[in-house]
Amino acid sequence: MSAEFELSRNITIGQYLPTDSVVHRLDPRFKLAAFVIMILAIAICGTYVGNLFALAICIAMFWVSKIPLHYGLSGVKPAIPFIIILATLQLLFYGEIARGGTVYFQYGFVTISSESVRLVLVSAMRFVEVIFLSSVLTLSTSTTELTHGMERLLGPLQKVKFPVHAFALIITIAIRFVPTFAMEMEKMMKAQASRGADFGTGEWWRIIRRTKDMLPIIIPLFNVALARAEDLILAMEARCYMPGASRTQYTHYKANGKDYAALIISIFISVIMLYIPW
């Protein structure tokens, strides 16, 4: 009850757990590349064994990066209802699409076969794998490294006029302001509650009513955000920022053996996943 309005203290986005493992010390460009490769492999791999293998690798990643597994599990927990809903929908409606295999059950449009069961289980596993991998990535990489890595990886796109620097800057600023806005929102909720507002007490189906109740928070928050953005633009301009102008970079990364090794290992794992036939 006393935590009714405590938002900013419970925010965990961009939570970085510095345990100084091998994974932490990887060059963020290579770490990101390896992450993307693994995610792609997970997206493609549709076999039980391949996904069990991937799941095992993901769990091993926690151990290698010295991050307690419960950090990953706490990421999975809020996703469980979603996974269940997805599984139910797949089971009900995908029977027609995922044809083949033995049919276990059929009634009306609902067909449950070994193929649709596989689809459901593999999807659920994929979900968990992606959450685990993303957790390891964000827990072992500071937001600064993440944006730097992304900026460098996307670098080649500059040739086709994609504004890579601006893109990276936007993401950095967005992350930078998450705690600020969490605090702002908390303050706004408290201030309006002090004036007699109540949020989230009405029944959930009275959506219009509940949205209306949120206006005293949303509108000021929006105004504050605009004012902050205006200030920020001024401050950036005052420090010689020009959109589109070329800039130098403070942080430089030098890849070494372990970074290349990480990349090769991730490719190797992906190939195994995709070649497992069951």
Query: Which residue ranges make up the site for other proteins (CB under 8 A)?
Result: 1-2, 4-6, 9, 14, 142-144, 147, 169, 172-173, 175-176, 179-180, 184, 187-188, 190-198, 215-216, 219-220, 223-224, 227-228, 231-232, 234-242, 245-252
Match 């757990």 to its residue by tokens. 17
Q: Which is nearer to other proteins, 59 or 197 (CB)?
A: 197
Quickly list DSSP for 108-136.
Answer: TTEEEEHHHHHHHHHHHHHHHHHHHHHHH
Shortest Å distance, C-beta 194 to other proteins: 4
CA distances from 44 to 38, 88, 203 (A): 10, 22, 42
CA distances from 203 to 47, 78, 82, 244 (A): 43, 22, 21, 49
Alpha-carbon dihedral of residues 165, 169, 170, 176, nearest 10 degrees? 170
Q: Which is nearer to other proteins, 5 or 48 (CB)?
A: 5
DSSP state of 39: H
Measuring CA to CA, which residue among 2, 1, 10 is closest to residue 182?
10
Q: Which is nearer to other proteins, 99 or 247 (CB)?
A: 247
Shortest Å distance, C-beta 136 to other proteins: 20
- Read off the tokens for 210: 């509940």
Q: Which is nearer to other proteins, 47 or 144 (CB)?
A: 144
Q: Which is nearer to other proteins, 153 or 183 (CB)?
A: 183
Shortest Å distance, C-beta 269 to other proteins: 31
**Looking at the DSSP assignment, which residues form a beta bridge with residue 103?**
113
Shortest Å distance, C-beta 14 to other proteins: 8
Shortest Å distance, C-beta 90 to other proteins: 38
CA distances from 28 to 72, 139, 145, 178 (A): 20, 13, 6, 22
Shortest Å distance, C-beta 181 to other proteins: 10
Q: Which is nearer to other proteins, 12 or 106 (CB)?
A: 12
